[in-house]
Structure 1
Amino acid sequence: MKHLLAAVDFSNSTRAVLEQSRLLAGKLNARLWIIHVSTDETATLATTSSFSDYSPEITSMPGDVQLARDISAEELKREHNELIALSADLRKKGIEAKALLIRGNPATEILAKAADLKADMIILGSHGHGLFHKALLGSVSESVIQHAQCNVLIVPRPGKNTTPPVL
């Protein structure tokens, strides 16, 4: 294994995903790609004429679209800076790490980037949401497992009573 793809979402599971990725990349002397897929709800708002479509109590105001674009740009900048910091920290620890920020559907983009990079393994976290959440929103990890053309490692959410794998 020479190429690992770690998908992060900046939730509580990000640290655990990166730690397992670091351990694997170190043991395998593999390149680690850290990917974050921004779904960016504000980008959706920026393509509409007003916020009132999303919340009836908000009436259309001049500048709605520009405000949404500004918020979206700031969020992308924050996510990009966070990814750069994560990859820099891993490089300080001797891991060849590169960061990628992509916009779109998380499962679709993770799978596409794994194929593009010829990843040997995708590493991502499990949020442990219940059935109701999965029925409404689906599960990124479940979709990746079902459609991946490579190995997939699901890192349990932090605090779950599990024993980490010995590497």
Structure 2
Amino acid sequence: MTEILLGRILIATDGSEKNRAALDEGIIIARAFGSIVYAVYVIDTGTFSSMSGDIPLGDTYTVFHTEAEQAFARIKSQAGDVKVETSILEGHPAAEIVKFALAKKIDMIVIGTQGKKGLERLLLGSVAEEIIRSAPCKVLVVK
């Protein structure tokens, strides 16, 4: 049996429009190679420490989960016949993405250069840069 070159592709999403190009590219590649797509949304628990104590944590999790499900719905509708598995992770985004890639034996991670934080992630983006440095596989960064 022949092994597929890029059998497992992880597409990291934060649900933002800035991430759309990475999503599009990841789906195109997955379709071309017959890959399984693992769509991952990471709830950055580090943001909780900087939040106001007035906001109930349960409400925040609900917002993040709703956002993740909307992002996954977009990926699945775009993927068509490409198999998509989704996962919501919690923690530091780069570390969680790399850990997931190791666990699932991912062949390539597809990420955008910028997420929601805009200026904070100028140039390459802090999450993208961390993933590139520590990923166990190929990384495609899409502008």
Confirm or deny a common fold (TM above 0.5). Answer: yes
Distance in 1, Cα, partners of 2:91 & 2:74: 21
What is the aligned partner in structure 1 of residue 58 from structure 2?
70
Find the structure with the greater CA-based Rg.
1
The amino acid of 1:100's aligned partner reads: S
Instruction: In structure 2, list runs of 5 or more residues that go unmatched.
Output: 1-5
Q: Is the 8 A contact 2:114 2:121 kept in 1?
A: no
Give SS of 2:56's match.
Answer: helix
Q: Is the 8 A contact 2:11 2:37 kept in 1?
A: yes
- Which of 129, 135, 139 matches 1:148? 135
Distance in 2, Cα, partners of 1:7 & 1:134: 15
What is the aligned partner in structure 2 of residue 20 from structure 1?
25
Q: What is the TM-score when the length of structure 2 is the normalising length?
A: 0.80
- RMSD over aligned Cα, in angstroms? 2.6
Q: Is the 8 A contact 2:12 2:110 kept in 1?
A: yes
How many residue pairs get aligned? The number is: 134
Q: What is the TM-score when the length of structure 1 is the normalising length?
A: 0.70
What is the aligned partner in structure 1 of residue 70 from structure 2?
82
CA displacement at 1:41 relative to structure 2: 6.0
Q: Is the 8 A contact 1:43 1:68 kept in 2?
A: no
| Percent identity of equivalent pairs | 27
Give SS of 1:145's match.
Answer: helix
The amino acid of 1:89's aligned partner reads: S
